[in-house]
Structure 1
Amino acid sequence: MPAEIASQFGVTERLVTQRLAIANILSPILTAYREDKIQPETLRILTMATKKKQRAWMKLFDAEGE
């Protein structure tokens, strides 16, 4: 699928794969990123985490802000 999308839009497969990974991030994490509460590097790392690990990270992140 990434190859087809890349071909259709004239971009690399890697770019498509990266964008799909970001789209799979939990909504509260994306919101924190959009609000500049987390850095791009953190977002990239979280793309490799399972939903369960993303939830655990978000819980720690929220607790840190309190």
Structure 2
Amino acid sequence: MSSDIQRFRSFISALSTLVNLAANRCYKIRMRFYYVIIQFLFTFKCLITVDTSTKNAITSYFGMIRN
């Protein structure tokens, strides 16, 4: 009986560790995704504000992507 309880507790502990690791990994991936989106928006905003014409800025930006 005591052995079964110990095995059950060990299993729950291992499962808890696995869930915590998975949650931590998902959190890191989500934070990296948000960082990439924020960097993209900031870069795009800088490209638009540097050029005097928004049309030229967008055209030059998409031209850089294709090349």
TM-score, normalised to structure 1, is 0.31
Q: TM-score, normalised by structure 2?
A: 0.30
Structure in which a larger fraction of residues adopt helix? 2
Q: Larger Cα Rg: Structure 1 or Structure 2?
A: 2
